[in-house]
């Protein structure tokens, strides 16, 4: 009986399949349309057909337990399934999805993923190779070109359906025996799917529809699988099949994501091009598609500043048509159009037209759903927050910058309006904590504006998916953020991570979590013996405290914690400084951060103790010399070293008996901070001059790597000041020294520089 079933096999996301399917539906006028799709998503058929829905869209099924597993069923405007749904609704048909429920599909998918072996990979290559053989038989470069030329361009009635049905049956017969032996999970999966589809067909027949009332729309590969005499899946079989708890949502999708085939193997690489093809089919002007496509390429080229005249377009169209004719085609395929564009617009260089091809092939379309069609609580909450905070204008694929002023606005009447930017900041920080990539924080010079934030906002389908998956962590953005930060706090083992969580809790306005994080940090601090971790934590808290009450958040508990962190880090400084030069780089950064805290938070921390520890580090000869140089530089800044003592220390550190790398390393540390303080001390430069003059050739090479690195960080004006100082020492005059510095290197000098680059210094930097 099923051999008489009205089955239309399609290729997903094929405009040609949609064109012929609509014609087939018009001729059959069915009362029931059964479509390959998750049978537990039947409630979404009505929303999909809603006139306010703008494709591309997707059905997303996801597991309700961590780790989240997802499966996507996307629809473009030209998808056969989407067009079948729309036709069915216009004609008051019963419409059902008939594939396995999503919970079973995802569970079986777990088994399939675990069963991928080298033998399985060989089979997949064999399967793909069959399609390539078909293309080669018809002298095409790839299967996509073959498909477009022989199916998409074939608008003759009935030949599409019968031709695709025959080809799919032949490929299936070549695959199925080998599939059973090589990838039994794949074979079983497809067998179960087809048994479930037969079950749904039987249900429709048992429900009162006749064989003539029904049209079945499935992937062409499955046509022979649902029309054979094999038994359908029984109720008992269905109940005993492995499954996992899932939820389903309808979401906007994008052509960019569709082109990447992310989570969906049947996507296509040129969705915007195929949309243009669909429009041309509808308007009966397929012969104009080449000119339309190449005109769009020319437009993109002109936007990018390249020449692309009408004559170029005419030439490109003629070339594309000639290439199609050489392949016995009636119209150019995308490959022909690419070749014509590269030749006529790019002068034979793909790179010249690559961006234009990408834009016109893929496009930037993002679908949309009318309010009320998003299904998960977090989606609903997300859109409510976007409206409340007046951020809906930023729901765009084009990146936009948003500047926030966290201060109260006294010019407005309502509290909500007065603190809208602060509330926006809280919301965006919550999204950041949840890894929802709608907003990206941009750097701001906080020295001049602690109340200012900059964000770059850009919407994408990936954002929608991330919001849906967040539903597992909480039914609102706030609850989900609290869950994530609580998870991080539970797993936290360092004071720096605890401090970051405190900062995030403050920025996300989560008071209870903030208190728990403070308690966690204090308990971790008892056993902390890592200077870098402790200094990083102190820096995080000091930045927060400096914001004051700008976030209307009680930061008073942090002051005592900052005192404890600063004290512990100060006491760890000296022992930590017994390290190599590689470790010294990060430690030096932490020293600078601690020094900044001591200056800006002097009324909250023990700055005197910090200076005493710095003095020990500056005086010690058995510690890392770069760090000793940094410590001595800080002592100079605070005028804790006289000029005479400075000269003595420089002389001691840069004496001939000190290894060159140690002496020059000390100077590198010294010069890395307040350079203007150094430039004011002529005695220091005199000692450095004497030191360099006293070095032998090899020692000079060894010291030069540090000195080059140190002076390379100086600004041009600072280098000019050094030249003036040296001119006084040498008695040559500033103009002569400047002239020497600006003179191009001779060949001999260049050779010496190259030798320096190849010199084996025999130590780590």
Which pLDDT tens digit goes with each residue over 205-245? Answer: 999 999 999 999 999 999 999 998 889 999 999 999 999 99
Please give the pLDDT value at position 497.
95
Question: Given this structure, which CATH class describes domain 377-477?
Answer: mainly alpha
Look at the pTM and tell me if it is higher than 0.85: no
Who wins on pLDDT, 749 or 243? 243
Whether the pLDDT of residue 2 is over 70: the answer is: no
Please give the pLDDT value at position 60.
85
pLDDT band at 67 (very low <50, low <70, confident <90, very high): low
As a whole number, mean pLDDT of residues 409-423 equals 87
pLDDT band at 764 (very low <50, low <70, confident <90, very high): very low
Please give the pLDDT value at position 738.
67
Spatial separation of the C-alpha atoms in residues 536 and 539, rounded to whole Å: 5
pLDDT in tens, 695-710: 777 677 666 666 666 6
Q: What is the DSSP string of 77-93?
A: TT-HHHHHHHHHHHTT-
Residue 39 near residue 99 (C-beta atoms within 8 A): yes
Who wins on pLDDT, 116 or 443? 443
Residue 201 near residue 32 (C-beta atoms within 8 A): no
CA distances from 651 to 73, 512, 545, 631 (A): 75, 56, 42, 17
Whether the pLDDT of residue 760 is over 50: the answer is: no
Dihedral sign for Cα 69, 75, 79, 85, please. Answer: positive
Spatial separation of the C-alpha atoms in residues 354 and 489, rounded to whole Å: 47
Whether the pLDDT of residue 740 is over 80: the answer is: no
Residue 302 near residue 359 (C-beta atoms within 8 A): no
Residue 635 near residue 615 (C-beta atoms within 8 A): yes
Please give the pLDDT value at position 761.
46
Tokens of 539: 């820096």
Q: Which long-range contacts (CB under 8 A, 24 or more apart) does 596-599 make?
A: 596/539, 596/542, 597/538, 597/539, 597/542, 597/562, 597/566, 598/566
As a whole number, mean pLDDT of residues 618-641 equals 90
Spatial separation of the C-alpha atoms in residues 258 and 75, rounded to whole Å: 9
> Closest by alpha carbon to 259, among 358, 169, 353, 166?
358
Work out the percent of the chain whose per-residue pLDDT is above 70.
90
Residue 252 near residue 369 (C-beta atoms within 8 A): yes
Who wins on pLDDT, 4 or 347? 347
> Closest by alpha carbon to 227, among 235, 236, 218?
218
Please give the pLDDT value at position 697.
72
Residues near 448 by Cβ (< 8 Å), separated by ≥ 6?
A: none
pLDDT band at 630 (very low <50, low <70, confident <90, very high): very high
Please give the pLDDT value at position 680.
65
pLDDT in tens, 112-142: 777 667 788 888 899 989 999 999 999 999 9
Please give the pLDDT value at position 263.
44
Lowest mean pLDDT across 135-144, 285-294, 670-679: 670-679
Collapsing DSSP states into helix, strand and coil, what is residue 248? strand
Rg (the chain; Cα; Å): 35
Residues near 202 by Cβ (< 8 Å), separated by ≥ 6?
A: 232
Please give the pLDDT value at position 549.
73
Who wins on pLDDT, 474 or 102? 102
Collapsing DSSP states into helix, strand and coil, what is residue 714? coil
Residue 251 near residue 465 (C-beta atoms within 8 A): yes
Please give the pLDDT value at position 12.
92
Q: 57-63 and 70-75: which strand pairing?
A: antiparallel
Q: 94-99 and 246-252: which strand pairing?
A: unpaired
HSE-up (13 A, CA, CB side) for residue 276: 21
> Closest by alpha carbon to 277, among 334, 226, 328?
334
Question: What is the enclosing helix (H) or strand (E) of 401?
Answer: strand 400-405
Whether the pLDDT of residue 368 is over 90: the answer is: no
Q: Is 621 exposed, middle or buried (0-12, 13-18, 19+ CB in 10 A)?
A: exposed
As a whole number, mean pLDDT of residues 91-120 equals 87
Please give the pLDDT value at position 663.
73
Spatial separation of the C-alpha atoms in residues 117 and 288, rounded to whole Å: 47
As a whole number, mean pLDDT of residues 253-260 equals 82
In angstroms, the first-to-last Cα distance of the chain is 81
Residue 8 near residue 160 (C-beta atoms within 8 A): no
As a whole number, mean pLDDT of residues 257-262 equals 68
Please give the pLDDT value at position 283.
95
Please give the pLDDT value at position 641.
82
pLDDT band at 452 (very low <50, low <70, confident <90, very high): confident
CA distances from 590 to 462, 537, 614, 676 (A): 37, 10, 13, 22
Cβ neighbours around 565 below 10 Å, total: 31
Lowest mean pLDDT across 206-215, 243-252, 438-447: 438-447
Lowest mean pLDDT across 120-129, 203-212, 334-343, 583-592: 120-129
Spatial separation of the C-alpha atoms in residues 149 and 147, rounded to whole Å: 6
Whether the pLDDT of residue 525 is over 80: the answer is: yes
Output DSSP code: residue 63.
E
Collapsing DSSP states into helix, strand and coil, what is residue 199? helix
Residue 162 near residue 200 (C-beta atoms within 8 A): no
Who wins on pLDDT, 186 or 152? 152
Mean pLDDT for all residues in the chain: 87
Which of 285-289, 305-309, 539-543 shows the highest mean pLDDT?
285-289
Dihedral angle computed from the Cα positions of residues 238, 244, 249 and 250, in that order, rounded to the nearest 10 degrees: -50
pLDDT in tens, 155-194: 988 789 999 999 999 999 998 888 888 888 888 899 999 9
Whether the pLDDT of residue 644 is over 50: the answer is: yes
Whether the pLDDT of residue 278 is over 90: the answer is: yes
Lowest mean pLDDT across 69-78, 80-89, 638-647, 656-665: 656-665
> Closest by alpha carbon to 95, among 30, 34, 21?
34
pLDDT band at 755 (very low <50, low <70, confident <90, very high): low
* Three-state helix/strand/coil letters over 683-697: HHHHHHHHHHHHCCH
């Amino acid at each position: 009986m099923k051999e008489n079933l009205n089955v239309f096999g399609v290729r997903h996301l094929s405009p040609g399949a949609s064109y012929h399917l609509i014609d087939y539906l018009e001729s059959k006028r069915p009362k029931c349309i059964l479509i390959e799709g998750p049978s537990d998503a039947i409630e979404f058929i009505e929303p999909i057909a809603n006139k306010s829905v703008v494709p591309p869209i997707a059905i997303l099924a996801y597991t309700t337990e961590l780790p989240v597993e997802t499966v996507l069923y996307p629809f473009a405007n030209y998808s056969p399934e989407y067009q079948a749904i729309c036709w069915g609704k216009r004609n008051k048909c019963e419409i059902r999805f008939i594939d396995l429920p999503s919970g079973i599909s995802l569970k079986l998918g777990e088994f399939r993923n675990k069963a991928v072996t080298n033998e399985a990979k060989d089979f997949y290559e064999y399967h793909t190779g069959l399609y390539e053989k078909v293309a080669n038989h018809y002298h095409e470069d790839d299967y996509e070109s073959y498909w477009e030329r022989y199916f998409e361009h074939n608008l003759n009635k009935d030949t599409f359906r019968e031709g695709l049905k025959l080809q799919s049956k032949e490929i299936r017969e070549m695959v199925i025996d080998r599939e059973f032996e090589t990838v039994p999970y794949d074979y079983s999966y497809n067998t179960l799917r087809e048994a479930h589809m037969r079950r749904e067909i039987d249900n429709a027949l048992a429900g009162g529809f006749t064989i003539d009332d029904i049209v079945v729309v499935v992937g062409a590969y499955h046509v022979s699988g649902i029309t054979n005499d094999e038994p359908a899946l029984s109720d008992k079989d269905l109940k005993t099949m492995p499954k996992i708890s899932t939820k389903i949502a309808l979401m906007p999708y994008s052509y960019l994501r569709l082109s990447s085939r992310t989570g969906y193997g049947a996507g296509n690489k040129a969705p915007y091009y195929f949309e243009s093809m669909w429009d041309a089919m509808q308007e009966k002007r397929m012969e104009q598609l080449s000119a339309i496509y190449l005109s769009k390429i020319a437009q993109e080229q002109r936007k990018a500043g390249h020449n692309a005249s009408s004559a170029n377009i005419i030439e490109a169209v003629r070339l594309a048509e000639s290439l199609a004719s050489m392949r016995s085609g009636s119209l150019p395929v995308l490959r022909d159009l690419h070749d014509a564009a590269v030749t006529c617009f790019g002068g034979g260089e793909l790179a010249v037209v690559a961006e234009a091809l990408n834009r016109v092939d893929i496009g930037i379309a993002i679908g949309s759903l009318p309010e009320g069609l998003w299904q998960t609580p977090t989606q609903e909450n997300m859109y409510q927050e976007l409206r409340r905070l007046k951020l809906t204008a930023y729901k765009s694929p084009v990146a936009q910058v948003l500047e926030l002023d966290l201060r109260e606005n006294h010019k407005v009447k309502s509290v909500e309006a007065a603190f809208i930017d602060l509330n926006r900041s809280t919301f965006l920080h919550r999204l950041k904590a949840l890894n929802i990539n709608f907003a990206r924080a941009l750097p701001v010079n906080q020295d001049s504006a602690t109340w200012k934030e900059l964000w770059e906002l850009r919407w994408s389908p990936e954002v929608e998916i991330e919001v849906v998956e967040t539903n597992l962590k909480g039914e609102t953005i706030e609850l989900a953020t609290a869950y994530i930060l609580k998870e991080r706090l539970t797993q936290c083992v360092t004071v720096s991570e605890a401090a970051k969580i405190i900062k995030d809790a403050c920025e996300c306005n989560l008071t209870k979590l903030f208190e728990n994080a403070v308690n966690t940090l204090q308990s971790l601090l008892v056993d902390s013996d890592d200077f870098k971790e402790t200094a990083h934590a102190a820096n995080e808290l000091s930045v927060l405290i400096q914001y004051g009450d700008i976030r209307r958040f009680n930061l008073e508990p942090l002051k005592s914690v900052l005192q404890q962190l600063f004290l512990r880090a100060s006491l760890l400084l000296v022992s930590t400084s017994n390290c190599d030069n590689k470790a010294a780089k990060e430690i030096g950064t932490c020293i600078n951060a601690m020094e900044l805290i001591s200056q800006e938070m002097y009324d909250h921390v023990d700055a005197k103790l910090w200076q005493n520890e710095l003095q020990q580090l500056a005086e010690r000869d058995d510690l890392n010399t770069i760090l000793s140089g940094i410590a001595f530089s800080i002592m100079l800044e605070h005028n804790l070293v006289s000029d005479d003592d400075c000269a003595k220390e420089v002389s001691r550190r840069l004496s001939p008996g000190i290894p060159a790398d140690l002496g020059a390393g000390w100077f590198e540390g010294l010069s890395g901070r307040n350079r203007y303080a150094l430039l004011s001390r002529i005695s220091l430069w005199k000692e450095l001059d004497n030191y360099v003059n006293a070095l032998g050739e090899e020692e000079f090479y060894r010291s030069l790597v540090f000195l080059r690195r140190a002076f390379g960080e100086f600004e041009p004006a600072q280098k000019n000041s050094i030249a003036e100082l040296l001119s006084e020492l040498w008695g040559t005059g500033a103009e002569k020294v400047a002239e020497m510095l600006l003179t191009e290197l001779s060949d001999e000098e260049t050779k010496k520089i190259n030798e320096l680059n190849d010199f084996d210094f025999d130590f780590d930097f």
